[in-house]
Structure formats: structure tokens, C-alpha cells
Structure 1
Amino acid sequence: MERTIAEINEKITAGKATVWTLAELKARLQSLSIAEATRQVDVVTTGTFEPMESSGAIINLGPTDPPIKLRQCWLDGIPAYTGFGAVDLYLGAAQSVDANSEGGEADSLRERGGGHVIADLIAGKAIPLRAVGYVTDCYPRASLETVISKDTINQFYLYNPRNLYQNFIVGVNGGDRPLYTYLGPLQPQLGNAVYACGGALSPLLNDPYLRLVGIGTRIFLGGGIGYVAWEGTQHFPLQKRLANDTPIGPAATLALIGDAKQMDPFWVRGCYFKHYGASLMLGVGVPLPVLDQEVIARCAIRDEDVVAPIIDFSIPRRVRPTFGMVNYAQLKSGKIKIEGKTVRTAPLTSLYFSQRIAEVLKDWIQSGRFTLTEPIAPLPCDRAFLPQQPWMPAVIDD
């Protein structure tokens, strides 16, 4: 049995589409064949809620009188990038307080970052703005102090260069002191293990070669409607894979875009990792159209069918030693064995909220609020991963 996205959209518009969350599908496949499930369901919804620090917001303030061309700008003390249009800004989620402008470098200053400002703007809060301008004949204003909100600025949308990793790693610390990382604190002597993927419920692991997701795919983004804009940075679809085609570590990523004025602050939250920095907790939901049996077969993977590498962060190198692979059923049990030692595990991804996002997206589709889009172009599946090497001057022999 085969369907097209246009045929599925007709059923959505008529209120006749059958939509299951990914968790519901996996449960029903215990008693249904892949062929029968394909006949019954039109769309499978997936979701994740996790820190996504490679995120940020484009903001257009609107012209001032007299006009200003921004040279430097701070939103509630957080620097925003100003190197393009006169009153355009990009505020990175991981950007922290400019210690020089605030008179100190205490770690407490770094607990509030760009992600918190983005979340506050989405929540409708007023944010103080301070700016310095380039004085020119076109833009004679030298400085600006004001207060902005999402209702007083022209554009406010998220553009996230790297979200939705297809898979990720498990972080541990084999050293003698605590480490503060983008996975959170890692305790010494293998005191804990942190993973950052939903396993078999992770959206892109159920579409391993991005057959269903491409440029222009409509998604749930931060409680509003967003789109896949491009491949994400560090997109690495050539990652090694198991026989079931799932990657054994970080692989595909997506760049996402969406109107932040329409987002829900429940699904966009600033967060902070102790001694590491600010980030953004973000909810993303991806619909998977059931075009044929292959879609269901891919979605049949279980946590025990997907693995991630255990990486030792105590070695400060780009390529760190590993303690082998572990599957997500073991990770979700709350403990794993590493070299004979029992190590407790915890997810960085909220598995509960991830499933709630899939349920919200299901409701949107069933109510006709959300229809599917045909990608306008596929995402590349041949990108290599290129590390950066520091420049070393040539040695000249006398």
C-alpha cells in the first residue's frame, strides 16, 4: 500500500486521517503486522524536548528617529550580534552576559544567557536594550536605550543552525575531579553517565536516511509551526551504522526556522549548565507521513536496537577514548555496566515532554490545524565531517 502526502492532506482536511504517536505505533506493533499497521495509520508523530544550544533569534527592531546603525547591542546585558542590517540582531542561545560591561566575571553572571532572553521575549516580557551606533550621514544617532517586547519589534523568529541530532553520545568521567560539560556535571571515577537522545523515540532515528524529512518540511517548533530550513551544522550522515541503518553516534542534524511570536513559552525555556554556560530547552515535533510499509518498518526499531558510544570526557581531546557501545534499553533502565562497575544513568532529554509534544502534534493534525508539506529539496546524505586543525608555521631550515 502506498500513499502520497497530497492524499494524506486530503484526509487531514476532511478530518479522516488516522494519526498515532510514535510510542503508540511501537506498542501496537506488538500485535499488528507492519502491513496491517501501514493500512491503518496515515501519520506518525514524534517529538523531543532537550537543550539545543546551537539556536538563536533574528530580531528586527525597526528604525529609530533619528536613525541608528547598530555597532554593539545588549539585551538585558546579553550581547547580540549586529554585523548585518542597521537594526537587525542575532541573539545566540548560548551567549552569556558581557562581563566587561557588567563589571565582573563571576560565574553567577553567566547563569543568564541568550536562551533566557529569547524565552522571556516569547513569554511577552519586556527586555531592556542598550546599543551603540556607527555615526554616519545616514545614521546620525550614536546610542539607544529602550525597552522591547515581542509586540514592539518587527520580526522575531528563531533560526537554529543545529538542532535535532539523529543520535548522540553518552558522557562519563573516568578522571579524579568533577567535570562540567554540555551534558551537565559528570562525576569522577565513573560516578554517573548522561545521555542526550530519546533512543527509539528520537525523531530522526526513525527516518535514518531522511527520506521523509527535507528542506521545507513543516514541524512543531517551540509550540508553534516551524520548518526545516537546511541541513544542520555538523551534519554527518556518513556516520557508521548498524545493520538496521541507525547511526552509532552523532549523525544527521537539521537547521530549523519558525516565527517566535507564535511560540509557546512552555516549550521554549532558557537553561544553564553549571560552570559551562547558557542554553535553550526547546520542543521539536516531526510528523512522519506513512507513505508505504518501509516507513512503518523503520519506525519499528526498539531501544535495544539503537546504540550510542560511551565517551570519557576526562581526556581533553577532540577524539576521546570510549568504553564501547551501550543500547538505549540499558540506558533507560537507570544503570549500565562499565568495566564491571555499575554506573547510574540519566537523560538530558525529557522523555516525558518529548512524548507530550508527539501527542500535541497528533491533536493538531487530527483537528486539521496542521497539514504536511512536500520537501522542496532533499537533505544531503553524503556530507563528511571535517575537523579543524590549528595553523602551524612552516619550519624553515637554514
Structure 2
Amino acid sequence: MATTRTIAEINHKIREGRVVVWTVEETKTKVAEMGVAAATAAVDVVTTGTFEPMESSGAIINLGHTDPPINIRECYLDGIMAYAGFGAVDLYLGASQVASSNRWGDTSESDIPSERGGGHVIAQLIAGKSVHLRALGHVSDCYPRATLDISITRDTINQFYLFNPRNLYQNFIVGVNSSDRPLLTYLGPLQPFLGNAVYANGGALSPMLNDPQMRTIGIGSRLFIGGAPGYIAWEGTQHFPLQKRLPNGTPIGPSATVALIGDAKQMQPEWVRGCYFSGYGPSLMLGVGIPIPVLDEAVMQSCAISDQDIVAPVIDFSIPRRVRPSFGLVSYQQLKSGRLTINGSRVRTAPLSSLYLGCRVATILKDWIMQGNFELSEPVAPLPNQTAFLPQNN
């Protein structure tokens, strides 16, 4: 009889200390050794992980009210603007926000490096360090204070949580450059004359590619984010589940995305790091891991996917248009080999994500579950599967 189990049954085993958990790397080895049916019977949860730049991320911050109160309408954290248009002392700091001019006449704090943005400030707060805040208020009878100049830490503010509109692309692209000059991109430097190729997804290690039909991953799914528990809050922006797919269900390019939320006060600096792409801008390196409950053999079959069975499009960034030319599809097995052949030329490849740290995320999440410190959650709703991708044609 085929093995089936529920998330409730898995959580019961977690509480009793009987749960069996494999990382996604271990799973692929085990399935190759024992087959899908035996592997399904043997394990309850498969943990996945990634550590990669996720620029569509940011932090919600509530400062707490001052005395006299202020209704903040312009705010800078270490010279980086935070959005302040939705509450007197509520702020949203975007990871890719850059230093900008302000009413004090400076473009950034004098001692802050120029290659710095919102992601660095978020990481600094998570590390327990102090951040300089300067703000202007909208003066009214309710909020008579006009300015605020203080230092804050994560321990001196009320709420501090990540709310990320778009994380965890289910597959992405490979960037190359056929022009005669270097290009500075969100994938990092692309060298001229097809000098290198950069890929951003972990392939068979990637969380969303191990559940391509999103059977177990949905709104409300509990996960690892930045070294702390978090949740899938909604579909991500640019969510495109209608991307063309291979017979194994994996998309051939950028597809589904998720919006994530998690308490930044619990996060660890190892898993949340500000970064900067020269000539492009700041971002946030973030560790995220999703536990996949092995409900049946179909789930295990998806988790057994290998790099040779997942492809990504090779996109030429030398054409500055929304739709760029493609050199076709390549497998992640080819990408991870370190070399591609494009138009007869051998091209070096490199990952933008850290495959090593992604595997560490999966291992830590495995340990949390086996130690009884992390239970799985039932999705409260599935992620939409018919969302179209609408461009602006102007």
C-alpha cells in the first residue's frame, strides 16, 4: 500500500521526537539508492534552503511614540530614506533603498560608505547595532513635534519585522553579455564577449523547485527566514505560475514567487546581510528554507528532481529591453559544471546564490524540526495558479 501522511500526523511525530527529516541533498541520494516508494515510507519531511540576494525585501519598524508626539512624514536611517506615509511612527525600510538628498542638505551620513543601502541598515539592526534616525514631522494639534534626531536599536523599538513582497523565485535566468563592454547588473558584472555567465537559482536545491506545483507550499506555510521562523504571507509580486513548464512540472524561467514575513528581532546576522552590486545598487542577502511535508509519493517524486532535469534561459543583457534575446535553455547540471558552450564558445559560469550556505539553511531547519523546536503549518490557502504577468507597454 502506498504511503500517505498528513501534516497533523507529522507534527504529532515532531512532538513525540519520532520524526524523520532529510535535507534536500540527502533526499536525492536516498531516492537514487532506495527508490521513491521506499523513500516516501522512510521520511516525513524534506528541508530545503537558499541564501541569495532578495532585493524585493524590507522591514516594518514601529518606533513607539515620542513626547511630545510626532507624526513622521520624512525619515532617514543612517542616511537611507524610510517610507513614512502610513502611520505616525510606522516606517518601511526597503532593502534596495539608496542614500538620497534630504531637507538637511546632505545626501548621506558623513561617515556612512556610499556603497550602502536599506539592506545594510536592516542587517545592522538585526546585528544589535545602533542606527541614527532623523525625521521631520507633520505638525498638528495631535502631533506638535516637528523634528526627531535619535539613535535606535532593535531593543528600543516596538515592532521590527521583515515583510518581503517578492522572494524565492521558482527558477530564474542566466545572464550573459555579448557586447564589447562590461555590464553592471543585478546579477553582478557581466563580462563582454560572453566572458561569463551568472545564474541566480540553486536548481535542484532551491525550495520552490522541489514542489513545482506548490502542493505543500501555500499561504501560511511556516519556514526559516533569516535564522528565525516566518511565514508565507501571500503570493509574491511578479508571481507568474503560468510560465511554460517541462513535463516534470518545473518552469523553464521565472515563475512563482512568494511574499514572506518574519520577526527580525529573532533573526541572526549570519543569515541577513546587506550587499551592494557595483553600478546597480544595494540589496539584501537572505537565508530562507522551506520544509516540505512528504504527504505521498508524488511529493517525494518532486523532491527527487535533479539538476539535469531543470533548465533556465540564457539571456543576453547587452540588449537594454524588457524582452532580451535568449541563447536558449541550459540545465543546472551544465551551469554547476562551471562551463557552458554558447555559439561555439566556452563560457565560465558562477552562481549568485551561495549553494553551500543554502545547504546549511536546510541542515539547520532539519535540526530545528528533529529537536522539536519547529512544527509545520497547514497552508490556509493555496498560492494562485492562474496569475498572468502584465507588462507596461508604453
Q: TM-score of the superposition, structure 1-length normalised?
A: 0.96
Letter of the 1:69 partner, please give it.
Answer: N
Q: 1:98 aligns with which of 78, 97, 100?
A: 100
Q: Distance in 1 between matches of 2:113 and 2:258?
A: 31
1:129 — aligned with what?
Answer: 133
Please list the CA deviations of residues 201-247 of structure 1 after superposition, one character each: whole Å capped at 9, or x if unmatched.
11111111111011110000000000000000000000000111100
Q: Distance in 1 between matches of 2:106 and 2:205?
A: 43
2:291 — aligned with what?
Answer: 287
Q: Distance in 2 between matches of 1:15 and 1:195?
A: 39
Matched, 1:69 2:102: no
Please list the CA deviations of residues 256-310 of structure 1 after superposition, one character each: whole Å capped at 9, or x if unmatched.
0000000001000000000100000000000000000001111111101000000
2:24 — aligned with what?
Answer: 22
Matches within 5 A, 1:317-328: 317-328=321-332
Q: Distance in 2 between matches of 1:296 and 1:209?
A: 13
2:72 and 2:89 in contact (8 A); partners too: yes
Q: What secondary structure does 1:33 align onto?
A: helix
Letter of the 1:348 partner, please give it.
Answer: L
How much has 1:109 moved relative to structure 2?
5.4
Q: 2:358 aligns with which of 354, 357, 373?
A: 354
1:235 and 1:252 in contact (8 A); partners too: yes
Q: What secondary structure does 1:7 align onto?
A: helix
How much has 1:170 moved relative to structure 2?
0.1
Q: Distance in 2 between matches of 1:7 and 1:135?
A: 56
How much has 1:103 moved relative to structure 2?
4.4
Letter of the 1:208 partner, please give it.
Answer: P
Matches within 5 A, 1:172-183: 172-183=176-187
2:99 and 2:107 in contact (8 A); partners too: no
Letter of the 2:193 partner, please give it.
Answer: Q
Q: TM-score of the superposition, structure 2-length normalised?
A: 0.97
1:113 — aligned with what?
Answer: 117
Q: Distance in 1 between matches of 2:299 and 2:12?
A: 20
2:15 — aligned with what?
Answer: 13
Q: 2:36 aligns with which of 17, 34, 37?
A: 34
Q: Distance in 2 between matches of 1:61 and 1:33?
A: 54
2:241 — aligned with what?
Answer: 237
Please list the CA deviations of residues 135-163 of structure 1 after superposition, one character each: whole Å capped at 9, or x if unmatched.
11111100000000000000000000000
Q: Distance in 2 between matches of 1:84 and 1:334?
A: 47
Please list the CA deviations of residues 43-77 of structure 1 after superposition, one character each: whole Å capped at 9, or x if unmatched.
00000000000000000000001100001000000
Q: Distance in 1 between matches of 2:203 and 2:353?
A: 10
Matched, 1:297 2:318: no
How much has 1:93 moved relative to structure 2?
0.2
Matches within 5 A, 1:1-398: 1-99=3-101, 101-103=105-107, 110-390=114-394
Unaligned runs of 5+ in 2: none
Letter of the 2:269 partner, please give it.
Answer: P
Q: Distance in 1 between matches of 2:65 and 2:197?
A: 50
Q: What secondary structure does 2:298 align onto?
A: helix
Q: What secondary structure does 1:111 align onto?
A: coil
1:268 and 1:283 in contact (8 A); partners too: yes
**What is the RMSD of the two structures over their aligned residues, measured on CA atoms?**
1.3
Q: Distance in 1 between matches of 2:248 and 2:264?
A: 37
What percent identity do the matched residue pairs reach? 69
Q: Distance in 2 between matches of 1:209 and 1:25?
A: 19
Letter of the 1:355 partner, please give it.
Answer: C
- Greater than 3 Å deviation, 4+ residue runs: none
2:240 and 2:389 in contact (8 A); partners too: yes
1:110 and 1:278 in contact (8 A); partners too: no
